[in-house]
Structure 1
Amino acid sequence: MAAAESDSKSLFSLDSYHVSQELGFILPDPLEELPPYYQPWMDIALRVPELVLSHELRFHINKMPLLSSHFLQKHRELRLAHLALSVMTMGYTWQEGESNTVEKLPQNLAVPYWEVSQRLGLPPILTHADAVLANWRKKDPEGNLELLLSLPGGDSVRGFFMVTLLVELAAVPALRNIPTVINGVRCGDSEAVARALEEVSQSIQEMTDALKLMHWWKDNPCMPKGLIYDGVQPEPMEYSGGSAAQSSLLHCFDELLGIKHEAKSGAFLTRMRNYMPPAHKQLIQDISLQPSLKSFVHQQDSERLNRAFQHCVTKLLALRNYHINIVSRFITVPAARARQLRNQSQDSEGEMISRAPTALEERGTGGSGIMIFLKTVRDQTKDAFLPETSKEMKHHS
């Protein structure tokens, strides 16, 4: 009885992890404006795409006043400031394409960016937490969404970020059910765990459906030494760019379902956790410390529970397969075509193509060898199946 009482007092909950019941990892109601003192930042951040196009962004940022970050008090102010400084940094670095990147960020951008990043526990680079989780507003009373700040690339860039936001939204029911699964395992309630896993698998299916609507300087050969943040430290620093691997969602599902990744892909995924808000990173860590769901399912004599667990793994596998499909369609194939055109063409079109990031031919936006990485992670997801299904899957693959 004492153990049961102790368990009930320490029920697992999402309350302390900055996870919204309605929006999951998405930041609720992001601010659209900073205090007036920071208007010089917002004036430029809102114009990044057009200023990159006219090759004037670096000029405007170099003239920007050096502002103190101390007047940013609330969490949402810091998140908008980080987003604005991130978008400016990406534009400043890549204004002339990969053939003419910069080696140093000016002090008036680097110092406040570093300070804001330190206060949030995020790195000073555009992350998934910026570009997706804190970069939205309601466009109209019907609830249609649009981005607060954008990058060069027009509708394709906006579409990429908006679809990613919709995937995060589709995952909310799954996130809400994770505590139910954990608490059900703790107290041996196989029916509660089965019901919750059925909700999780349905939500993962909706993530895949949302996905169907559809730069960096660590591991980047154009910037082998990284980037100097002037006024922060004299040596260059290296950070990976925004990547789907920085979304906390799949990390949570992997830990819940007991999916283990081999050394290389596992190390990359672990490194990506340093690009998440600290509370979200902590949630993933705490899920990993809970009693094993897979062992619990294996020990119970419940066909419904067994089926619900297998269904979750199946849906997660399908999501990862679809992600491979998307990466092939939008990165690998176009990059190969661009390489072919570069080899054939000596005219201005070839020159323009040469400014496209050639590293994307082999690597994803986070700097991983993308197709090998994604297929490895997909194959390791199969290992989470319970023994009988695992044999069937290997037989069919």
Structure 2
Amino acid sequence: MCPPCYSNHCNVLYIPLDEAAALLFSSPPMATTITDSQKPFSLDPYHVSEEFGFILPAPLAELPPYYQPWMDIAQHVTELIYSHMLRSHILKMPLLNTQLLESHRELRLAHLALSVMTMGYVWQEGEDDTVKMLPRNLAIPYCEVSQRLGLPPILTHADAVLANWRKRDPQGWKDNSSMPAGLVYEGVQAEPMEYSGGSAAQSSLLHCFDELLGVKHEAMSGILKMSFPVRVNVLSTCTGAFLTRMRNYMPPSHKRLIQDISLQPSLRGFVQQQACEPLTAAFQLCVTKLLALRSYHINVVSRFIIVPAARARQLRNQGNISQEETVSRAPTALEEKGTGGSGIMSFLKTVRDRTRDVFNLK
């Protein structure tokens, strides 16, 4: 939290977090009389908690016994991938009725289990032997659960991070050269569907920070595809459009919270109007922390994606990668693009630069 301001020349009052949130969402730009009909602000409708934030509190570890065939496979995806047996196990799986899933937590765990199986089924043999169709016994329940949650049928940030499971090969089948036509969900529709893989760009928390602090990522309708290289004069526009599209991979309640924040009076504008040095310093400290996080993210991506991918490309060009290394080596699609399909380094640097722009309060 930003520190309170006790300066005599600055008319700023410290407000507890819950009261500040209530003011942010319930107060119009101009002072008005509060009526009894106004409801107190609550994070509950957004599926957000003050203790855990956007993380799903106490996620389930098991589904009702009827869905044990899903869990038996989902809990052993890694072993089944390395033994090249995952696809055969999924093809033998029964087609289960999703109507027995009742609670939100059951649906979230089901979506997670089906997502893990789907990613493993597609990428079991690496990017050189992907599939064109997801079998109906997986595709139909997956799309039904996704529709009930308002999420797309692919492993998202909400699954792999917020529902607290480990993810493996989170690449999607949008903007991916290994699957240019997308993936057919058998029994759902005949035409291939394209979805971006799980990405930090789908983080509800980071989008909230951007809206609250006034970080602007310009967007233009119709430009939704990130490619590499991207010309400098359209990079910011493409970045904004990509981030806007990533909101479609969030739980609808989280997306609604971000939208509601964006409709409130500008916090940055308020700080500018007050012309209070301690308040300005507190605001800039918040921006500094977000900027540091994004710079650290760039370093992590460089170390764990860019450098290993470059090494894998070098070995591949030298013909030193064996068939056994196919699954474990860095996918070529990640050499220039992130897991969500973005031009990874140019994208991250543009997001960082837009965050730095917020420092100017003049």
Question: Who is 2:272 aligned against?
Answer: 298
Closer, same or farther in 2 for the Cα pair 1:7/1:337, shift >3 Å?
farther
Question: Who is 1:236 aligned against?
Answer: 192
**CA offsets per residue over residues 66-85 of structure 1, 9 Å max, x none?**
11101101111100100000
Q: Report the CA distance between 1:2 and its aligned residue.
A: 7.7
Give 1:31's aligned amino acid.
Answer: L
Q: Report the CA distance between 1:32 and its aligned residue.
A: 1.1
Closer, same or farther in 2 for the Cα pair 1:18/1:151, shift >3 Å?
closer
**Contact (CA 8 Å) 1:41, 1:85: kept in 2 or not?**
yes
Match of 1:86 among 115, 121, 126: 115
Question: Who is 1:311 aligned against?
Answer: 285
Question: Who is 1:55 aligned against?
Answer: 84
Q: Report the CA distance between 1:373 and its aligned residue.
A: 0.3
Match of 1:74 among 96, 103, 114: 103
Closer, same or farther in 2 for the Cα pair 1:108/1:354, shift >3 Å?
closer
**CA offsets per residue over residues 264-291 of structure 1, 9 Å max, x none?**
1010001000000000000000000000
Q: Report the CA distance between 1:6 and its aligned residue.
A: 5.0
Gaps of 5+ in 1: 136-146, 158-214, 389-397
**CA offsets per residue over residues 48-92 of structure 1, 9 Å max, x none?**
100111000100100111111011011111001000000000000
Closer, same or farther in 2 for the Cα pair 1:151/1:374, shift >3 Å?
closer
Match of 2:247 among 273, 296, 299: 273
Give 2:175's aligned amino acid.
Answer: D
Q: Report the CA distance between 1:344 and its aligned residue.
A: 1.2
**Contact (CA 8 Å) 1:228, 1:237: kept in 2 or not?**
yes
Greater shift in the superposed pair: 295-304 or 49-58: 295-304
**Contact (CA 8 Å) 2:185, 2:193: kept in 1 or not?**
yes
Q: Report the CA distance between 1:8 and its aligned residue.
A: 10
**Contact (CA 8 Å) 1:256, 1:287: kept in 2 or not?**
yes
Closer, same or farther in 2 for the Cα pair 1:252/1:261, shift >3 Å?
same
Match of 1:103 among 129, 132, 136: 132
**Contact (CA 8 Å) 1:265, 1:376: kept in 2 or not?**
yes
The alignment's TM-score, normalised by the length of structure 1, stands at: 0.76
Q: Report 1:203-282 matches (<5 A).
A: 215-262=171-218, 263-282=237-256
Q: Report the CA distance between 1:354 and its aligned residue.
A: 9.3
**CA offsets per residue over residues 204-229 of structure 1, 9 Å max, x none?**
xxxxxxxxxxx211111000010000
SS at match of 1:384: helix
Give 1:268's aligned amino acid.
Answer: F
Counterparts of 1:299 and 1:2, CA distance in 2: 16
SS at match of 2:359: coil
Question: Who is 2:157 aligned against?
Answer: 128
Match status 1:357 vs 2:316: no
Q: CA RMSD of the aligned region, Å?
A: 2.2
Match status 1:116 vs 2:145: yes
Question: Who is 1:36 aligned against?
Answer: 65
Closer, same or farther in 2 for the Cα pair 1:335/1:34, shift >3 Å?
same
Q: Report 1:170-209 matches (<5 A).
A: none
Counterparts of 1:306 and 1:337, CA distance in 2: 45
Q: Report the CA distance between 1:301 and its aligned residue.
A: 3.2
Closer, same or farther in 2 for the Cα pair 1:371/1:8, shift >3 Å?
farther
**Contact (CA 8 Å) 2:199, 2:340: kept in 1 or not?**
yes
The alignment's TM-score, normalised by the length of structure 2, stands at: 0.83
Which contiguous aligned blocks of 4+ residues in structure 1 show a shift greater than 6 angstroms?
A: none
Match status 1:381 vs 2:358: no
**Contact (CA 8 Å) 1:342, 1:350: kept in 2 or not?**
no
Counterparts of 2:33 and 2:283, CA distance in 1: 25
Gaps of 5+ in 2: 1-29, 219-236
Task: Select the structure that is richer in helix.
Answer: 1
Counterparts of 1:32 and 1:260, CA distance in 2: 39
Question: Who is 1:172 aligned against?
Answer: none
**Contact (CA 8 Å) 2:125, 2:327: kept in 1 or not?**
no
Give 2:262's aligned amino acid.
Answer: S
Counterparts of 2:115 and 2:46, CA distance in 1: 24
Q: Report the CA distance between 1:350 and its aligned residue.
A: 9.1
Match status 1:20 vs 2:49: yes
Q: Report the CA distance between 1:386 and its aligned residue.
A: 2.9
For this pair of structures, how many residues does the alignment match? 315
